Chains A and B, each alone.
Chain A
């Protein structure tokens, strides 16, 4: 498997979806099945390759960048085609490749207006190139290109296939009548672009200072203390804006509920499962190791914002009547735990962040699948009108109950470890950080878990339990079909597997994380 290890494997994982998108584009529009089969085949091959990568990966030296290559790309600015994975990116790469397959399986018979499977599948494949590329890129320019590449397909997904209900945007006397999908897609695009503009400035500044875009080289320089003073602060601030919008961190999160609620089901799933992780991954991969000194200075700010996000997201959830919007707001809380772990700057906390990212991807992805499927049947997401779902659709109700429990952080399921470890991280943050402040954030986080349990159970009570309303009598409400079950089963299995045996994540991450922390913050 020399060809695989020398970078071809990762390159295929990144660019095969692009080839698939071209092939889908060339396929006749009339023959819908061919279009779907090409897309499915492409993503399955990519997923298999990512699993092969996981097997080829040398876990004993998970801190090293492996299976990659470093080729000259744009010599005039010193940017190389440098790719590779370490223990931090591996789980996220596999997650991304797997969830895309499931998204396409689910899409098989779920098309939102205006249908057009061909265009939709092309967008999914483009999105996959962007997501996988971000996780393997080891060059700031390459990273930035992939990071931005995901914006466009998602923008079109929301803007074209999204929620078509009218939406009034009112600011004082100014009123704007628009559609939810347009409002949400533009908000998503602008918000993210705003952040990445500053991020690009930071990348350029780093390159002017250090003379390279190469991430491993920059990490070596940064951990040696090359970037200091106002320069370092400004560079970190820029990166912070770019990544924090994507995560999203309070108070930069308001794009998320709108985008999630308006997006078509598959769009919400990919958005929640993978796209949000690009931000937190950026913190771990780029911001922390390259600018350790600034990370120390910013850590309390990040921790406090994360704690506010946890409490705030949970409180907002309690006020929701729209099921999908509730799930969207829950992401704010869950990503708060991820950021709290990162902010602790400890190996426990960063491990927590990565397993939290994977778990959130699996669990919230699943929740959005369910919200989509239920909307598909009930044609409403208003929880006041739902109820008794457990009676009308027993399978779907049971899955919803299960995954809601996972989402509230039930031990033994995936969500628990991320929360638990990030609380441990916050209890004992890196030496030199303000311990009482971090313990305060830990208590806030712990209170957040109670609130999370509150809104999840409340949602279950309103949606799943009780007698179904008379409204649904005589309606044709089929239970989960086989495409749905095939798409969901892997997520459910992963939820249990990660929960029972978190080693499947930490065996990859721990070596890399310990090395990262030792290098950047080592005493």
Chain B
């Protein structure tokens, strides 16, 4: 128990400090790593090859997370505790610790729920895999690392969890490392994240250097009071803003913000359950979590960092959603959609919508996991990732179909599914805080989201089957998680229905650290809700019009301007003109331009930097190290050798020559003596 907590308790007496459950909450962090060790060392000898350990671990996390959630909801528990792991000066201390408050127990609950379902699904999905045991070890590490990150009461532990998440994702993305493509995708993810991590590390060092502590409560305390314990005026100082922006840079990597999102679509090289967990509960939510955790910092001391964050978030939201329009790989559609949803969350948190961003993170966790698992079920059945190999699956895979539709509806923001509430709250935040441009981008984003999800559903489940073999519904081990997730995706929105029930707002507002400052739990704005919903419905309509009928190949239908198709639309609605014109510009040149920049500019820069670094390495090594420094060393040795060789010739072995030299020397000495003594 620390002083900060007591101080906080005085200011806000309605918060409870927790009991035994909170004191033992460190088990949530330790159990996954024990499971990892158990799977690595004994997994192969177990009945289910280690999967039972992994699933059992996730079940434990789920149950514990649920209990903590309920206690936090009812008692407003705020608890944190730490053990010292190193003292490196008189004052600087490093600790492992765990925080149990609204924000962290929301994440425990999310990781536990989604994790458990995805793990159970993976038992079926991964059956017969070449590295089944290894997969569950890495998967458990992935979840455990995320929990370490979430529980962190100090930035050092956060960095530890942060990078462990990165390395676990590397292991999982390059799971099928026999193909170089896959291991390269893993490297790309790790490397992009590592670049961002540098920002996080420097930012953390800068902030805690100014405040004198790595503890988040100390930093936020300094932030909200506008001073540091060491340096007096930190408010608005360069250090504070630079540090805050560097933290944000770190978050851009993990949460795939433009232009650091490039790793995420490639990360689809991993098995589908990995994508589901990565996109829903672990990894990409880390950046949003960090921004939410440090929220008071961005509200006070480092306010000037916010425009940058909103800009990046809005750019992510606007640019990446469009990319989903032209993808054939079903997982890539979902990947780009995740990136764009992360843009929503980041922009919301940056704009001051603490609850809104976290709410969307919460609901998105359920429906995105659902969508990925549904996609996995389809892929498992047709043995292809490409939607051009699918079609008409609604008959053969009814459970997958219906759950996928619910997920898509939630993602598109259709009332009363969960995405509607969270997206609406984000839009309300933009409106309330007066970001008109961002608001319009957000509404356009809702349209785009609905459009590409409709396209995906239509291409996958409607029309005629174009693949090989006979697709069939997946086994129960996989469909049950789908159904549970579908229920959650449908109802998760009700935890925060402005005006009716606002439990979520209170819940995530119960935080262990400094007060949250200026943030607004929004009220339901009917006009805005109608606009958002309208945009989504418009998107669905447009998508259905283009892709709903199975007249043509998908590639042909992607080219909407084919006159026949265009006229067919024109004949039905005159509104379609506007919509299709808009979609045309967006989906044709613009989307392809963005796709082009994605591969040819941003990706190319990354590749160029990689290649030129290697070239530079070669140059430094060849020209300077081997040619320069080493050369000089060799030259010194060679010079000594050559001098010896030259002098060797004097050694003739003829004694009379030596005598002659001796005489000459004597004469020279005598003559010299005579000359110089006179």
Contact = CB atoms under 8 A, between A and B. Distances in A.
Interface stretch (A199-207, A362-370, A421-429, A469-477): A421-429
A514 B616 contact: no
A466 interface: yes
Contacts of B174: 465
Interface residues of A, number: 63
Contacts of A501: 85
A464 B171 CA distance: 13
Nearest to A347: B89
B160 A458 contact: no
Contacts of A405: 167
Nearest to A454: B191
Interface stretch (A35-43, A128-136, A439-447): A439-447
Contact of A348 (B92, B617, B631): B92
Given A416-B160, A428-B209, A465-B177, A316 B620 contact: yes
Contacts of B195: 450
B613 A454 contact: yes
B634 A319 contact: no
A161 interface: no
A454 B191 CA distance: 7
Interface in B609-629: 610, 613-614, 616-618, 620-622, 625, 629
Contact of B205 (A424, A450, A514): A424
Contact of A317 (B85, B180, B184, B617): B617
Contact of B201 (A187, A446, A464): A446
A461 B183 contact: yes
A347 B92 CA distance: 10
Contacts of B209: 424, 427-428
B202 A351 contact: no
A383 interface: no
Contacts of B187: 457-458, 461
Nearest to A250: B629
B635 interface: yes
Contacts of B183: 461, 465-466
A171 B634 contact: yes
Interface string A161-191: 0000000011110101000000000010000
Contacts of A427: 202, 205-206, 209
Interface string B80-114: 00001111111010100000000000000000000
Interface string B160-189: 111110010010001001101001100100
A449 interface: yes
Interface string A307-348: 000001011111110000000000000000000000000111
B88 A351 contact: yes
Interface in B541-568: none
Interface string B140-151: 000000000000
Nearest to A457: B187
A510 B88 contact: yes
Interface size class of B (residues with CB under 8 A): 35 or more
Interface in B118-171: 156, 159-164, 167, 170
A464 to B, nearest CB: 8
A466 B202 contact: no
Contact of B89 (A317, A416, A514): A514
B383 interface: no
Q: Give the dominant DSSP class at B's interface.
A: helix
Contacts of A458: 187
A49 interface: no
A315 B613 contact: yes
A233 interface: no
A502 B620 contact: no
B625 A254 contact: yes
A318 B191 contact: no
B613 A453 contact: no
B364 to A, nearest CB: 27
B178 A502 contact: no
B79 to A, nearest CB: 23
Contacts of B163: 410-412, 416
A466 B167 contact: no
A453 B194 contact: yes
A174 B639 CA distance: 9
Given A449-B198, A453-B191, A171 B635 contact: yes
Contacts of B618: 318-319
Given A172-B635, A466-B183, A451 B167 contact: no
A352 interface: yes
Interface centre among B161, B184, B209, B630 (most CB of A within 10 A): B630
B674 interface: no
A67 interface: no
A467 interface: yes
B94 A502 contact: yes
B504 interface: no
Contacts of A171: 631, 634-635, 637-638
A412 B164 contact: yes
A464 B205 CA distance: 34
B289 interface: no
A417 interface: yes
Contacts of A315: 613, 616-617, 620-621
A254 B637 CA distance: 14
A288 interface: no
A503 interface: yes
A251 interface: yes
A312 B624 CA distance: 10
A449 B195 CA distance: 9
A449 B190 CA distance: 12
B622 A319 contact: yes
Given A254-B633, A465-B183, A174 B617 contact: no
Contacts of B625: 254, 312, 316
A506 interface: yes
B638 A319 contact: no
Most buried by A among B86, B205, B631: B86
A312 B177 CA distance: 30
Interface string A28-69: 000000000000000000000000000000000000000000
A421 B617 contact: no
Contact of A506 (B86, B90, B201, B617): B86
Contact of B156 (A312, A316, A420): A420
Interface in B458-510: none
A39 to B, nearest CB: 31
B642 interface: yes
Nearest to A511: B87
B164 A352 contact: no
B13 interface: no
Contact of A453 (B86, B162, B190): B190
Interface in A445-499: 446-447, 449-451, 453-454, 457-458, 461, 464-467
B641 interface: yes
A318 B614 contact: yes
Interface in A246-266: 251, 254
B634 A457 contact: no
Interface of B: 84-90, 92, 94, 156, 159-164, 167, 170, 174, 177-178, 180, 183-184, 187, 190-191, 194-195, 198, 201-202, 205-206, 209, 610, 613-614, 616-618, 620-622, 625, 629-631, 633-635, 637-638, 641-642
8 contacts: A187-B633, A320-B621, A410-B164, A427-B206, A446-B201, A454-B191, A503-B86, A503-B87
Interface of A: 169-172, 174, 176, 187, 251, 254, 312, 314-320, 346-348, 351-352, 388, 390-391, 405, 410-412, 416-417, 420-421, 423-424, 427-428, 442-443, 446-447, 449-451, 453-454, 457-458, 461, 464-467, 500-503, 505-507, 510, 513-514
Given A187-B633, A465-B177, 10 more contacts: A315-B617, A319-B614, A346-B89, A348-B89, A412-B160, A423-B201, A427-B209, A447-B198, A449-B198, A506-B88
4 A-B pairs with least C-beta separation: A318-B617, A411-B160, A347-B89, A465-B177
